[in-house]
Structure 1
Amino acid sequence: MYIKLPKETKDGIKEEIISFFYEERDEEIGEIAAEAFLDFCLEKLGPYFYNEGVQDAIKIINERNMNAEEDLHSLKRNVSR
């Protein structure tokens, strides 16, 4: 799975990577190295983050379904026999 980013977004992330390497590691890297690093992260790490997002969505949907079920049960009326 490969994530396709808009050019503006990708350019901004590359600048962040370049800044990170300079500020945190005292290394100067260029745009090609930053893009290679970004591509690596997207390819190797992206699926983990994607799966976590899907898992979070599943939890939210389950909670909403549970609330909907409770709401529906509250609409029931007593039946006298």
Structure 2
Amino acid sequence: MSEITFATEEKTEIVHKVQKYFSDELDQDIGSFDAEFLIDFFAKEIGAHFYNRGLLDAQQLMTERMDETGYSIQELEKPISR
């Protein structure tokens, strides 16, 4: 897996969300640098867990859709007289 990175706009939005969380929930101010450092830490240390969960969810959805497609194809079968 490659390193998890975000576009500048995404990172700015995430930094603001972290800062808002710290302010609203923890009653603490956190600077942009510290928020970015925290984001980078989470991305490096636990990002793979979220990434893998996303892949598992996508795989389950794809399996469900393939099963549905298989059933739909079976419904199209024409009876064969013997």
Q: Do both proteins adopt the same fold according to a TM-score greater than 0.5, normalized to the shorter chain?
A: yes
* TM norm structure 1: 0.87
- The answer for unaligned runs of 5 or more in structure 2 is none
The answer as to 2:9 corresponding to 1:5 is no
1:21-68 superposed Cα distances (whole Å, 9 cap, x missing partner):
122222222111111101011112211111111111111111111111
Number of equivalences: 81
For the aligned residue pairs, the C-alpha RMSD in angstroms reads: 1.3
Larger RCO, structure (CA 8 Å, separation 6 or more): 1
Alpha-carbon distance in 1 for matches of 2:16, 2:76: 55
- Tell me what 2:77 maps to: 76
- The answer for unaligned runs of 5 or more in structure 1 is none
Alpha-carbon distance in 2 for matches of 1:22, 1:4: 25
- Tell me what 2:64 maps to: 63
Q: Where in structure 1 do 4 or more consecutive aligned residues deviate above 6 Å? A: none
Alignment of 1:1-81 (within 5 A): 1-81=2-82
Give the aligned residue type for 1:52. R
Identity of aligned residues (%): 31
